[in-house]
Amino acid sequence: MNRIKGKVVIITGASSGIGEATALLLAEKGAKLVLAARRKEKLAEIVTTIREKNGEAVYKETDVTKPADNQALIDYAKEIYGKIDVIFLNAGIMPSSPLSALKTEEWDQMIDINIKGVLHGLAAVLPDFISQKSGQVIATSSVAGLKAYPNAAVYGATKWAVRNLMEVLRMESAQEGTNIRTATIYPAAINTELLDTITDEAAAKGMNALYKEHGISPDRVANIVAFAINQPEDVNVNEFTVGPTSQPW
């Protein structure tokens, strides 16, 4: 059964990688998409591709670090489609480096995008999900949100935070009877633009070698997002660890 058809799905970080692959797959399955990211030209291209295949999609230039942008995104989705069923909080960066490199500006950027970006998205969408007593929040964490890795102290800390936020959201929603479903995804080596944000030379070299050997396509993660959305409303499949079969993460 296709329970995705007709659902209104917001995707942040939709201009490339996992977000883009998920948008293309969900469009094929009949979802109505609202794509969000900072690169509006790239979003426009993806929307055009979806529409050419008779899919439904719009986009909204969004900086997830700004609460007002997140609220504007929610308002735009309701203006276009009248409701919101799912939000996929997928925006994130991964400028890995050892703590001793003291790249404090990058630490702040990761906190602002990877944690605060999720919080701003939740703050914007939860009033609607609570009032309608339904909705689904999906978030991209990382295997670095499950275990510690050198060069990923701050990145991992942000992804551990996402893990905790999502688990508490699931528990509180059950206690409060709001029927909000959650799904947290912990990807390993998925070939996206994440590596482009690494400025530390040694960290970049190591990560590029790892991904070159093991990396798999982001559409593998898109399949999991679709699986989570397609579950019956009374079923919450809340955690997925996903990576290459060949990678001993």
Q: pLDDT per residue over 89-118, tens digit each?
A: 999 999 999 999 999 999 999 999 999 999
Return the ∠ at Cα 82 (arms to 19 and 88), rounded to 5°.
20
Q: What is the pLDDT of residue 194?
A: 85
Q: Is 8-235 a domain of CATH 3.40.50.720?
A: yes
Q: What is the pLDDT of residue 193?
A: 87
Rounded Cα–Cα distance for residues 54 and 220 (Å): 23
Q: Considering Cα of 142, then 147, then 151, then 153, what sign does the dihedral take? A: positive
Q: What is the pTM of this model?
A: 0.97
Among the listed residues 59, 155, 186, 211, the single catalytic one is 155
Surface-to-core class of residue 168, CB atoms within 10 Å of its CB (0-12 exposed, 13-18 middle, 19+ buried):
exposed
155 among known catalytic residues = yes
Surface-to-core class of residue 79, CB atoms within 10 Å of its CB (0-12 exposed, 13-18 middle, 19+ buried):
exposed
Residue at 152: amino acid letter? A
